[in-house]
Structure 1
């Protein structure tokens, strides 16, 4: 059976951490790891409190943790429906262990097309 990971993010304007005044390297690392895992067909999902509040209410464990601890409980990570991390993101080593791959396989970067304009 393939492991299933659900990541419940605090309210953010974007999942990569590059939308604010300073880039959060932890969010950039996480976005890269999640992207790599998705590309490999692994079951991993992220929910942002700002955009998908229903996901936080519908999951009884997540909802209860938020009632008990408040927004400080986020980010929260579930592995096969069980809470495995509260108030922090998994490391690449943890992702690798959960999915049976090497941490190096989580380094894929999303391919962004750059347009270059020349002026004469």
Structure 2
């Protein structure tokens, strides 16, 4: 089975889904990654703030950051090779790279049901970023 890793820029919480203004792209990527995990795919997500050692330990990502800087994030790796930088993969790209029907990833009701219940982002007094 293929392994996907997403390396993200610094955010105030591991998913970036906190505070009052939630970025719809972060919501989509969280839902897609949860759907993939729930269907047995190996998917790891690393945020520069909460998992900086993962960026240091991964030579491919370390080299990317050294050459292009944090502007190259988010970056997606498939089986250790960079497939996308500077943005998240689209649902179609997830489908293509992981050989699954895009319909599994693009049904909004199903996607929202895959998200874990958020007990809060852990920011003090609910004030994120």
Establish whether TM, by shorter chain, passes 0.5: yes
CA distance, structure 2, for counterparts of residue 24 and residue 6 of structure 1? 20
Q: Distance in 2 between matches of 1:97 and 1:51?
A: 29
What is aligned with 1:30?
A: 29
Q: In the alignment, what sits opposite 2:49? A: 50
Give the unaligned 5+ runs of structure 2: 119-129
Offset, 1:20: 3.4
Query: What is the CA–CA distance in structure 2 between the aligned matches of 1:15 and 1:102, rounded to whole Å?
Result: 27
How many residues are paired up? 112
In terms of mean alpha carbon deviation, does 7-16 or 46-55 score higher?
7-16
Instruction: Report what 1:118 is aligned to.
Output: none
* Distance in 2 between residues matched to 1:11 and 1:27, nearest whole Å: 13
TM-score by length of 2: 0.79
Q: In the alignment, is the contact (CA less than 8 A) between 1:9 and 1:74 conserved in 2?
A: yes
State the TM-score, normalized to the length of structure 1: 0.85
2:15–2:47 contact (8 Å) kept in structure 1:
no
- 1:15 and 1:90 map into 2 onto residues whose CA distance is 18
Structure 1 position 43, deviation (Å):
1.0
Contact 1:15 1:31 in 2 (8 A): no
**What's the counterpart of residue 6 of structure 2?**
7
Deviations 1:27-79 (A, max 9, x none): 11100000000000101110111011000000111001111111111101101
Q: Higher helix share goes to which structure?
A: 2
